[in-house]
Amino acid sequence: MTALHPIRFQPDMEVVPEDEAQTTAELIEALHTIQAITTEDYPTAVRSVHAKSHGIVKGTVQVLDNLPPQLAQGLFAKPAHYPVVMRFSTNPGDILDDRVSTPRGLALKIMLPDDAATEGGVAAGLDGTFSQDFVMQNAPKFTAPTPKAFLGNLKLLAKTTDKAEGLKVALSAVLRGTESLIEKVGSESGAIKSMGGHPMTHVLGETFYTMVPLLYGEYYGKVSVAPVSPGLQSLTDQAVSLKDNPDGLRAAVVAFFSQNDAEWEIRVQLAADREQFPIEDASQEWPESVSPYVAVARITVPKQDAWSAEVERSIDQCSGFSPWHCLSAHRPLGGIMRSRKPAYEASQRHRFSANGCPFAAAAAAKNPTQTPD
């Protein structure tokens, strides 16, 4: 069931604080500090955050037939199918032993035909391709309400880049204990999870959320991707043994896709009123009892090699996901989303250039003023 009366987006729902440009510049600087350190340390340049991939797979998105008008919007306006790339990650900017157990990420890149640019007002990525991306984590709300609040957390994290991995593993074990205690008494702490207190669960069993809103045609909402095939659902909350393998999460994903196909649903939660479904407070969970997530498309991924030298080069090193690679019908909304636009561009420009990606010069020329180097 959709929200019975989803509300239409109104421009006055977005409010830009006077100092937002300054906050965003400081966020980019903190992210660049992380990336500059890791670029020195690793053979290739990696993302400022979500640096470690746990598998990259290719499949198809099929928009569902007979969606009601409120759901048949933007990409989901009519039944169609599109190629999709899915990248699973965890959130630190350095490549850590998986026993430092942190929130899981999923980025979707739904490839659009070239005429989407004229028909749907889509912006090309720095690599020149047109896509609708959904960039998600496995929680329904963000850890901070605003970019300014997030900046404090990020500055702390930036200071821990590349510092004593053994200590992070030990801290992660302590935090997991703390987190499971907190969960037993009925709440959970995003901050503890993001520092290493996430349970050591299989990444493929998770449900992922955009956490923050985007336009949904005339309406606005959040998007999720939920496992629906029995093989994926059996992995929900399933522990992965990471004892002997620092890359155990990737090994588990590769093992799954060597034997299995998989299916997820793409779902949308439409906003039903201004108070309970705010745009400018990213830390507020929107009530599913008032407006549940409902399916609008299905992703199918056939059995395949989920990690290869080819995807490592073409997608891990030389491709970028961003919520701002989108149709105008799905423009990201709110402060956290606004700050992500230049932050993702800066991280990608640095990566593409340091990794000698084929389109790096064109990417650098596109918007040289935002390069932090």
Residue of the chain from 67, 96, 110, 135 that contacts ligand HEM (CB under 6 A) = 135
CB of residue 282 vs ligand HEM: minimum separation in angstroms?
A: 6
To 5 degrees, how large is the angle CA 330–CA 333–CA 337?
A: 105
Residue of the chain from 32, 47, 99, 298 that contacts ligand HEM (CB under 6 A) = 47
Residues 6 or more apart from 195 whose CB is under 8 A from it?
A: 102, 171, 172, 175
Residue range at the interface with ligand HEM (CB under 6 A); choices 42-50, 232-240, 242-250, 283-291:
42-50
**87 and 104 Cβ atoms separated by less than 8 Å:** no
Residues 6 or more apart from 114 whose CB is under 8 A from it?
A: 130
For ligand HEM, the closer of residues 34 and 272 by Cβ is 34
**86 and 106 Cβ atoms separated by less than 8 Å:** yes
CB of residue 180 vs ligand HEM: minimum separation in angstroms?
A: 23
3-state secondary structure of 342: helix
**343 and 323 Cβ atoms separated by less than 8 Å:** no
* Separation in Å, CA 336 to CA 16, 147, 210, 309: 11, 5, 11, 34
Residues 214-233 that bind ligand HEM (CB under 6 A): none
CA separation for the pair 232, 69 (Å, rounded) = 30
Residues 68-107 that bind ligand HEM (CB under 6 A): 87, 89, 105, 107
Written as one letter, the residue type at 106 is: L
Binding mask 141-170 for ligand HEM (x = CB under 6 A): -x-------x--------------------
Q: How many residues bind ligand HEM (CB under 6 A)?
A: 27
The closest alpha carbon to 162, from 93, 90, 242, belongs to 93
Q: How many CB atoms lie within 10 A of CB 39?
A: 18
Binding mask 4-33 for ligand HEM (x = CB under 6 A): -----------------------x---x--
For ligand HEM, the closer of residues 82 and 150 by Cβ is 150
CB of residue 53 vs ligand HEM: minimum separation in angstroms?
A: 7
Residues 342-371 that bind ligand HEM (CB under 6 A): 343-344, 347-348, 351
Q: Which residues bind ligand HEM (CB under 6 A)?
A: 27, 31, 47-50, 87, 89, 105, 107, 135-137, 142, 150, 211-212, 320-321, 336, 339-340, 343-344, 347-348, 351
